[in-house]
């Protein structure tokens, strides 16, 4: 192999290594950010688990959750998108179907008081 070819291969290899390291650093930063978000969401889910029994008892005592302030569909959509969640992911997080989230965002339907409180805990309220 000629010296020029060897030098070129060395330069290419060196540049490729730098590129891979740069991309790896970006991926590690993204992963760290996503892990922080997951921890925040887990805290929200834990809060739901801790308060769900009390919420159920309060709803049963009232007999109805009618009269609660409606959740604005566009605000709900902005919240979901700000968390970079699909409708399905958001629905799973609050314990409903993706169709429910779609209906709330698009048709003006409103979630129950229990679900409205869960959504509020995510940052809508």
Quote the pLDDT of residue 33: 87
Domains of the chain as residue ranges with CATH: 34-124 (1.10.260.40)
16-30 average pLDDT score: 94
Confidence category of residue 69, pLDDT binned at 50, 70, 90: low
Quote the pLDDT of residue 41: 80
Average pLDDT, the chain: 80
Confidence category of residue 29, pLDDT binned at 50, 70, 90: very high
114-119 average pLDDT score: 82
Quote the pLDDT of residue 66: 47
The per-residue pLDDT for range 92-102, each reduced to its tens digit, is 888 899 999 99
Quote the pLDDT of residue 110: 81
The DSSP code sequence of the chain is --HHHHHHHHHHHHHHHHHHHHHHHHHHHHHHHHHHHHHHHHHHHHHHHHHHHHHHHHHHHHS--TTPPPPPHHHHHHHHHHTT--HHHHHHHHTS-HHHHHHHHHT-----HHHHHHHIIIII-
């Amino acid at each position: 192999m000629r010296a020029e070819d060897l030098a070129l291969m060395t330069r290419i290899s060196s540049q490729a290594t730098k590129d891979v390291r740069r991309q790896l650093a970006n991926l590690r930063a993204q992963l760290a950010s996503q892990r922080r978000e997951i921890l925040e969401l887990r805290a929200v889910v834990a809060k739901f688990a801790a308060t769900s029994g009390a919420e159920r008892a309060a709803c049963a005592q009232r007999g109805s959750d009618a009269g609660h302030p409606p959740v604005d569909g566009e605000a709900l959509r902005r919240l979901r998108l700000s968390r970079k969640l699909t409708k399905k992911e958001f629905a799973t997080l609050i314990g409903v179907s993706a169709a429910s989230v779609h209906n709330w965002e698009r048709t003006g339907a409103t979630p129950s008081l229990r679900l409205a409180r869960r959504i509020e805990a995510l940052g809508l309220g």
